[in-house]
Amino acid sequence: MSRTFRLFIFYCTRAFENEAEFAEFPTAADPALEIHAVPMACSSMVKDLFLLKALEAGADAVTVWVCPEGACRHGEGNLRARKRVQRVQSLLDEIELDGRRLTFFHLAPGDRSSVMEILREISGALVRMGKNPAGIRKDRLEKTGSPQQNILKKPKTASKPNLDKGEPIHDRR
Amino acid sequence: MIVGEQKPIKEILKMTAPHHKLLVLGCGTCVETCFAGGEDEVAALASLLRLASRKDGRSLHIEEFTVERQCEDAFIAEAAEAVARNEAVLSLACGAGVQAVARRFPRFRVLPGVNTTFIGVLEHRGVFTEECSGCGDCQLAMFGGVCPFSRCAKKLLNGPCGGSRNGKCEVNADTDCAWHLIIERLTALGRLNELRTYVPPKNWQPSLSGGPRRLIREDHIL
């Protein structure tokens, strides 16, 4: 089994501004981390589905980085993000996938030492928890597209039926 | 609208365990508004079920589909092809929707993924309150548009009971006293004297609750 851990970081661009830094993190914090970063204009954009899809797409851990308490430019984005993360953590616990695979941190822009500390903390937790037993295998992942593409895949919804047709509807099996 | 909440994931996992091909069928009306069974909830639940099955090494193929309303046959028919491709349907509609889907597809097992809770209103984001018991004999005109059957904990038709404090119910201090609201409304309408008319006992089945129920989705409120 590969020793590499895949980490998805959903981050508010106000909490973490320098996207280019992500490339340096594995070397600086833990070379075993393979980081996939997903920027958000506000952390309130994070949804339970995105976090779950990240785990489905092969993430061993997912972390959400938001701006400091009281500093959200939209007022309550980081508070909403925290509640959503807490809900998904409890769902992961319920399916015994371990809610600790999902973490949440407040970050001030430019606080590089906290970033390093967080990454080392996640890396240490991953060594204890091991790889995500529900993550998609890498060979399948290559066939189905990138992790980011998997997260954003849309489900099917019925188009509105034309009720004026007045045709009888039968089970089409 | 009909208010419901998704069943605990462990209950859903137990129900769906015998099946290897499952359609998670959403409903885009009431249960979407209360975050229990709309398109987003279908996708999130399907994702969670996939994670759980992979973790346990179980083979499970999940298809996702959402119709406008599961309580109307014309809308349900849109899902016929998706149903045919699967062994069972996990419906995220209210109880009426689950039954309508089961009726439409009698050869398929249809499982409920939502606990239907009450008929209510969106009080504010994430908070839903029961305001109708569906008694089949609406007398709201007599009570200024406030239903004492569903909103008074004692279901008094000739209130108030005298136990309310600062407009709140003595049974549950989080609940507005329905009779306080009735008197306020009728006073504003200049029709308070209508309460002098005796309202005879109503023949209705005993309620299952001690007052209006409330569903709180903690992750949607601040």
The conformational region for residue B109 under phi > 0 = left, psi -120 to 50 = alpha, else beta, is beta
pTM: 0.85
Report the b/e string of B171-180 with b at 16+ CB within 10 A: beeebbbbbb
Contact A172 B79 (CB under 8 A): no
Domain boundaries, chain A: 5-154
CATH second-level architecture of B2-118? 3-Layer(aba) Sandwich (3.40)
A158 contacts in chain B (CB < 8 Å): 65-68, 75, 78-79
Angstroms from B111 CA to nearest CA on chain A: 18
Which are the contacts of B192, defined by CB distance < 8 A and separation ≥ 6?
A: B183, B186
Domain boundaries, chain B: 2-118, 135-206
Average confidence score pLDDT of chain B: 92
Instruction: Give me the pLDDT at residue A167, please.
Output: 40
> How many other C-beta atoms can be found within 10 angstroms of the C-beta atom of residue A103?
19
For the record, the structure tokens of B216 come out as 């709180």
Pairing of strands B114-124, A33-40: unpaired
Residue B15 has pLDDT above 50, yes or no: yes
Interface probe for A, chosen from B47, B89, B124 (most Cβ of A below 10 Å), is B47
Q: Check if the beta carbon of residue B29 is closer than 8 Å to that of residue B1.
A: yes
B44 contacts in chain A (CB < 8 Å): 47-49, 52
Residues in chain A: 173
The correct answer on CATH 3.40.50 for the domain covering A5-154 is yes
Q: Using one digit for the tens of pLDDT, what is the confidence trace for B89-132?
A: 999 999 999 999 999 999 999 999 999 999 999 998 899 999 99
Is residue A5 classed as helix, strand or coil in its secondary structure?
strand
Pairing of strands A61-66, A33-40: unpaired
CA distance B148 to B66: 36
Contact B78 A91 (CB under 8 A): no
Instruction: Give me the pLDDT at residue A137, please.
Output: 56
A134 contacts in chain B (CB < 8 Å): 50-52, 54-55
Which pLDDT band holds residue A141 (cuts at 50, 70, 90)? very low
Which pLDDT band holds residue A57 (cuts at 50, 70, 90)? very high
Name the A residues in 126-155 with CB < 8 Å from any B CB: 133-136, 155
Q: Using one digit for the tens of pLDDT, what is the confidence trace for B168-190?
A: 999 999 999 999 999 999 999 99
Interface probe for A, chosen from B11, B25, B51, B107 (most Cβ of A below 10 Å), is B51
Instruction: Give me the pLDDT at residue B210, please.
Output: 55
Residue A102 has pLDDT above 50, yes or no: yes
Q: Using one digit for the tens of pLDDT, what is the confidence trace for B40-98?
A: 999 999 999 999 999 999 989 999 999 999 999 999 999 999 999 999 999 999 999 99
Pairing of strands A61-66, A5-12: parallel
